[in-house]
Chain A
Amino acid sequence: METETPLKLDDAVELNPTHHFRWEEPQRAHVLLYPEGIVKLNETAAAIIEAAAGAPSIGDAVAVLVARYQHDDLEPKIIAFLEDARAKGWIRVKS
């Protein structure tokens, strides 16, 4: 892989346009649907993806999540998860 610059708080990310993210009632879970695949997300993963893809920047998403979960050491965990999601091709940095 070409080396990618690490994600920063002022980066904005979006869902990869080939991917669909939605709630599946029968599974009681969010799923990611994409060509050739399906992934069921746990609650935390879904919350991070939803917040990050909907926010103007990762920093804003972190603030939303910290407020919601009343936890302040979330930032590194969120960044690590988003790095992983980007490596898997679920999300990408908005240009």
Chain B
Amino acid sequence: MPKDGSGLSLDGLGMPLWLVVELTYKCPLKCPWCSNPVDFERYGNELSTEEWKSVLRRGRELGGVQLGFTGGEPTLRRDLEELVAEAECLGYYTNLITSGVGLNRERLRALKAAGLKQVQLSFQAPERALSHDLVGVDVFDQKIDIAHAIKAEGLPMVMNVPVSRYNIERTGEFLDLAEDIGADYLEFANLQYYNWALLNRAELLPTRDQLERSEAIVKERRERLGKKMTIYFVVPDYYDNRPKACMNGWGAIHLTIAPDGTTLPCQEARLIKTLDFPNVRDADLAWIWRESPAFQKFRGDSWMKEPCRSCDEREKDFGGCRCQAFLLTGDAANTDPVCAKSPNREIIDGLIGCARGDQPVGAEKLVMRDIRKRLAGAEAGR
């Protein structure tokens, strides 16, 4: 999960403990909630193998330990095995975050041999037809194959489910599927509403009722399964009255590098158009992390406004998510509007009030992640 702050507060002594490298924004799937930028096609100028290796080396020197390879679809990069090997050699704990489409048994074996420690495989639906509707292509059977192959290789597997109104009623089926495959972890990640998910928010946001039903099913299964499978249930923050401790604080332990070398304190930060994020092609990573204005901007708490500034919970949630504050209130330095203490909380309540619940769903109501549809969606007055 990019945003949940990992549920704990971690002092990295000012080092970027957790690196996320987005190898490419390209992807054959068209998830209408994709967290990639809506204008992803503008950033096609991807770092080369040598450039990525140098980034990994610098990142490790700065204290990086956890390393996630993601995208887009990271397996589309043919140098993935080479980069994983380099990361292993540098001493990272490497994760691959994938939809599974670019994988096969040979590649998995090669990745494991190169030192890969874990795979996070996303499942958008528990069966073929809904999967097709939600991702726009036929990949369900291939995903099942890959899931079994991951287990056969003995790699720990996190099954990730991006949850929306379109699949929340299928909670039990997802649990069956995960059990059947033998996933070590199952993560129900309710969508975070940025980028594509924001375009489709009205269609995708579940109601509180739907959430509670789904959570109850998870709870029941958790009790039955005990330690066999760890199940996470990430609630959508709109339904909370305190914001998530986003990224464990801005520029605290997380460093994302986008396909074109842009550096970001979190995967979504690029949407804060008022900030200028440095690129590894122009500046040294140590300067970027420690001194660049973009990474300094919301570090610590001196940038905070009221009510956060004088709030005794500010060390706990760091005032929430800067991207959400920017998107929903227009100022990234505002309190995350999810917080009940925010003067802007009514915005969130308004959005929740519009959730469509069991009104009919239909793939034709979604703006899928592809360029043509996005333009059409924009014309339709979004």
Contact = CB atoms under 8 A, between A and B. Distances in A.
A36 B186 CA distance: 11
B223 A35 contact: no
B95 A27 contact: no
A35 B356 CA distance: 34
A20 B67 CA distance: 14
Interface in A8-33: 17-18, 20, 24, 26-27, 31, 33
Interface size on A, as a range, is 10 to 19
Contacts of A43: none
Contact of B93 (A17, A27, A33, A39): A33
Given A38-B17, A40-B11, A33 B227 contact: no
B15 A20 contact: no
Given A20-B93, A24-B65, A27-B12, A37 B6 contact: yes
A72 interface: no
Contact of B185 (A20, A26, A36, A40): A36
Interface in A31-70: 31, 33, 35-40
A35 B65 contact: no
B10 to A, nearest CB: 6
Interface string A55-95: 00000000000000000000000000000000001001000
Interface of A: 1-2, 17-18, 20, 24, 26-27, 31, 33, 35-40, 89, 92
A35 B67 CA distance: 10
B230 A89 contact: yes
Nearest to A20: B93
Contacts, number: 63
B66 A38 contact: yes
Contacts of A17: 156
Contacts of B118: 18, 35
B123 to A, nearest CB: 16
A14 B326 CA distance: 46
A31 B156 contact: no
Contacts of B6: 36-38
A1 B93 CA distance: 29
Given A20-B93, A36-B1, A1 B185 contact: no
A16 to B, nearest CB: 9
Given A20-B93, A26-B15, A36-B185, A31 B65 contact: yes
B226 A2 contact: yes
Contacts of A38: 6, 10, 17-18, 65-66, 93
A33 B184 CA distance: 15
